[in-house]
């Protein structure tokens, strides 16, 4: 391994370690109710920790700036892993505390099933291409394409990124969820916009021409089909992102929640098991409100109301 390659790997490890340290500090503070009111001895320790973290960050940034890369080479140091895994790595107490905000965020970015919408658009254009290759256009073709254009308009109405106030260290959990969903949505909306422009601006005028140009219409339709295929893939990415947020907001199997203040927290739909640690005063209530998930793996789901039957303790 070359020395440059070894240096890059070392710098990537430093950047990753610094990021994880910041997340751990932030999650620890927020799960305990936010930054504590410091007394004099605590202030010295807190300032020392903050100084160490800041100096570590400065050192990492300095090393990255001095790294020897070509001008056209993309920066790979510190590149985040897929957000599906990162969300589940966050502290269970923080995921539980902010689960309602995270779920609401996911619902805002998933007001309609975009996978179904884009899949129907792809099917409609593929049928158009098949007809054009046979030089036949069914009577309903134009109406079908109008519906596709309308569906793309609904995709374009998906929410734009909302910039939240900067958080301590930049590790706010809700901000991370928002950034993840908005990035996937941005890619989908950009591809849907290109598809709609091609459909409305280049394909639709052929239906108003005095004579159909079969070859020209076929070429535009094929380009539109390619664009919609890409949009469909972006819709699948957004679907996976929403599922990852929901998973991080509901899966607390094996989590240690004994020190979490559960007052006011919506627990309905949470998945847990016998290894999940609840606050002692909540344990009986959780068991009574839960039902077996039926997966055969000892998984339980918290219901909206206490159950009339008792879940076996040895499930």
pLDDT single digits (tens) 158-174: 997 655 555 444 468 89
Of the pLDDT bands very low, low, confident and very high (cuts 50, 70, 90), residue 70 is: very low
CATH of the domain at 176: 1.20.120
Predicted confidence at residue 68, as pLDDT, reads 35
Is the pLDDT confidence value at 190 over 90? yes
Question: Is residue 20 in a domain?
Answer: yes
Same domain, 158 and 219: yes
Is the pLDDT confidence value at 19 over 90? no
Question: Is residue 295 in a domain?
Answer: yes
Give every strand in the sheet of 290-292, ordered side by side: 271-272, 300-302, 290-292
Could you list the residue range(s) of the whole structural domain that residue 313 is in? 251-315
pTM: 0.70
Question: Is residue 199 in a domain?
Answer: yes
Question: Is residue 49 in a domain?
Answer: yes
Same domain, 26 and 134: no
Question: Is residue 83 in a domain?
Answer: no
Same domain, 261 and 274: yes
Same domain, 158 and 189: yes
Is the pLDDT confidence value at 54 over 90? no
Please classify residue 210 by burial: count the beta carbons closer than 10 Å to its beta carbon, then call 0-12 exposed, 13-18 middle and 19+ buried. exposed
Of 219, 249, 279, the domain-final residue: 249
Reported as type and span, the H/E element at residue 290 is strand 290-292
Mean of the per-residue pLDDT values of the chain: 80
Is the pLDDT confidence value at 300 over 90? yes
Of the pLDDT bands very low, low, confident and very high (cuts 50, 70, 90), residue 75 is: very low
Of 49, 69, 89, the domain-final residue: 69
Same domain, 151 and 171: yes
Whether 234 and 188 have beta carbons less than 8 Å apart is answered as yes
Model confidence pLDDT, tens digit, residues 229-287: 999 999 999 999 999 999 999 999 999 999 888 888 899 999 999 999 999 999 999 99
Same domain, 259 and 244: no
Is the pLDDT confidence value at 137 over 60? yes
Same domain, 106 and 183: yes
Chain centroid, CA 65 distance in Å: 29
Same domain, 55 and 27: yes
Q: How far apart are CA 207 and CA 221, in angstroms?
A: 13
Of the pLDDT bands very low, low, confident and very high (cuts 50, 70, 90), residue 42 is: low
Is the pLDDT confidence value at 72 over 50? no
Same domain, 147 and 201: yes
Question: Is residue 97 in a domain?
Answer: no
Model confidence pLDDT, tens digit, residues 120-136: 999 999 999 999 998 88
Of 232, 249, 266, the domain-final residue: 249
Domain count, the chain: 3
Predicted confidence at residue 50, as pLDDT, reads 59
Q: How far apart are the first and last CA of the chain?
A: 51
Same domain, 231 and 292: no
Q: What percent of the chain has pLDDT over 70?
A: 71
**Residues 49-62: what's their mean pLDDT?**
56
Q: How far apart are CA 118 and CA 232, in angstroms?
A: 5
Same domain, 233 and 283: no
Is the pLDDT confidence value at 1 over 50? yes
Question: Is residue 86 in a domain?
Answer: no
Residue that wins the pLDDT comparison between 18 and 154: 154
Q: What percent of the chain has pLDDT over 90?
A: 49
Predicted confidence at residue 43, as pLDDT, reads 54
Same domain, 46 and 60: yes
Q: Which of 22-26, 61-65, 154-158, 276-280 has the lowest mean pLDDT?
A: 61-65
Question: Is residue 85 in a domain?
Answer: no
Model confidence pLDDT, tens digit, residues 202-224: 999 988 887 878 889 999 999 99
Residue whose C-alpha is closest to residue 103's, from 162, 181, 30, 163:
181
Of the pLDDT bands very low, low, confident and very high (cuts 50, 70, 90), residue 78 is: very low
Helices (H), 157-304: 173-198, 214-250, 283-289
């Amino acid at each position: 391994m070359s020395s440059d390659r070894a240096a890059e790997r070392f710098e990537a490890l430093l950047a990753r370690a610094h990021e994880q340290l910041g997340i751990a500090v932030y999650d620890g503070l927020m799960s305990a109710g936010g930054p504590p009111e410091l007394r004099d001895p605590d202030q010295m320790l807190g300032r020392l920790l903050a100084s160490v973290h800041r100096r570590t960050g400065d050192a990492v940034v300095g090393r990255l700036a001095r790294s020897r890369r070509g001008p056209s080479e993309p920066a790979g140091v510190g590149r985040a892993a897929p957000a599906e895994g990162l969300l589940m790595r966050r502290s269970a107490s923080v995921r539980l505390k902010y689960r309602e905000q995270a779920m609401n965020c996911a619902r805002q970015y998933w007001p309609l099933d975009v996978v179904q919408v884009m899949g129907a658009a792809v099917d409609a254009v593929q049928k158009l291409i098949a007809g054009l290759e046979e030089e036949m256009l069914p009577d309903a073709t134009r109406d079908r394409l109008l519906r596709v254009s309308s569906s793309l308009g609904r995709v374009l109405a998906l929410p734009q990124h909302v910039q939240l106030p900067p958080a301590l260290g930049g590790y706010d959990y809700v901000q991370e969820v928002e950034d993840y969903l908005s990035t996937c949505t941005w890619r989908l909306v950009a591809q849907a916009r290109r598809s709609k422009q091609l459909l409305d601006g280049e394909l639709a005028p052929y239906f108003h021409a005095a004579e159909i140009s079969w070859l020209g219409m076929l070429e535009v339709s094929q380009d539109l089909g390619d664009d919609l295929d890409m949009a469909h893939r972006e819709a699948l990415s957004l679907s996976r992102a929403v599922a990852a947020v929901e998973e991080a907001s509901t899966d607390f199997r094996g989590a240690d929640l004994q020190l979490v203040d559960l007052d006011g927290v919506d627990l309905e739909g949470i998945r847990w098991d016998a290894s999940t640690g609840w606050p002692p005063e909540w344990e009986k209530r959780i068991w009574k409100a839960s039902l077996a998930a039926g997966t055969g793996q000892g998984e339980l789901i918290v219901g909206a109301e206490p159950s009339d039957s008792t879940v076996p303790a040895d499930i």
